[in-house]
């Protein structure tokens, strides 16, 4: 009995093995926001970062303030030298304030005042470097940081005032004497010292309380 030929008719169930996988196309609109986890951030904000605007040419305003401090400082020192006698106090508000002409050959509180004279050039060079730094930094300081620029200008004016004294006289001229009777005496100082102290205080306040708010 002849054998029957094998059935060559393809099994319809086998065709599924050769089918190409279908790729689904997502026709949904592109979202206007980039998502990260559960947050949604506009794409524009991802590319744009706020740029801090510097003082630039407006630093000229703060230079004028520094110049005003310098002029007042030098004028009051000239008055002290022409109207007062060395180390002879003139009562102003008893028993708290005198005008007393004194010379400081050192730094604040007469630091290194008893040296052989090299301290004059050391402190003069230090004041010059600091002044040049402040002049440049006022240009780059954020325009919104007015308190910072105000403090920098006060420090600049005071530093230049005492620098001129060291270069012209070899010492700093002081005349403001705060005390309480004969019980307590604060070191004699000048207008330049006041500008430096107030300026440093304003800079510290800006760094502690205002700088983070500007960067936020």
pTM for this entry: 0.74
Pick the catalytic residue: 165, 174, 182, 206? 174
3 state SS of 91 = strand
Instruction: Note if 165 is an active site residue.
Output: no
Q: Which helix (H) or strand (E) holds 75?
A: helix 59-83
Torsion of Cα atoms, 26 then 28 then 29 then 32, to 10°: -90
pLDDT, tens digit, 9 for 90 and up, residues 151-202: 999 999 999 999 999 999 989 999 999 999 889 999 999 999 999 999 999 9
Annotated domain spans of the chain: 61-215
CB 97 within 8 A of CB 187: no
Q: Per residue in 143-165, pLDDT tens?
A: 999 999 999 999 999 999 999 99
Annotated catalytic residue within 73, 165, 193, 206: 193
Q: What angle do CA 10, 12, 16 make, to 5 degrees?
A: 110
Q: 37: helix, coil or strand?
A: coil
> Can you read off the two tokens belonging to residue 59?
């630093």
Per-residue pLDDT band for 134 (boundaries 50, 70, 90) equals very high
| Residue 206 designated active-site | no
């Amino acid at each position: 009995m002849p054998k029957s030929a094998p059935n060559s008719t393809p099994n319809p169930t086998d065709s599924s093995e050769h089918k190409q996988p279908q790729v689904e196309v997502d026709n949904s609109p592109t979202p206007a926001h980039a998502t990260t986890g559960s947050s949604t951030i506009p794409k524009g904000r991802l590319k744009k970062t706020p740029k801090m605007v510097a003082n630039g040419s407006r630093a000229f305003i703060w230079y004028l303030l520094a110049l005003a401090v310098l002029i007042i400082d030098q004028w009051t020192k000239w008055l002290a030298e022409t109207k007062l006698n060395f180390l002879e106090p003139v009562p102003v508000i008893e028993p708290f304030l005198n005008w007393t002409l004194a010379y400081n050959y050192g730094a604040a509180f007469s630091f290194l005042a008893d040296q052989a004279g090299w301290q004059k050039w050391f402190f003069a060079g230090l004041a010059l470097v600091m002044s040049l730094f402040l002049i440049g930094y006022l240009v780059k300081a954020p325009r919104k940081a007015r308190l910072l620029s105000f403090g920098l200008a006060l420090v600049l004016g005071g530093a230049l005032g005492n620098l001129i004294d060291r270069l012209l006289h070899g010492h700093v001229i002081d005349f403001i004497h705060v005390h309480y009777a004969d019980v307590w005496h604060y070191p004699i100082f000048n207008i330049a010292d006041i500008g430096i102290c107030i300026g440093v205080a304003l800079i510290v306040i800006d760094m502690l309380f205002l700088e983070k708010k500007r960067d936020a």
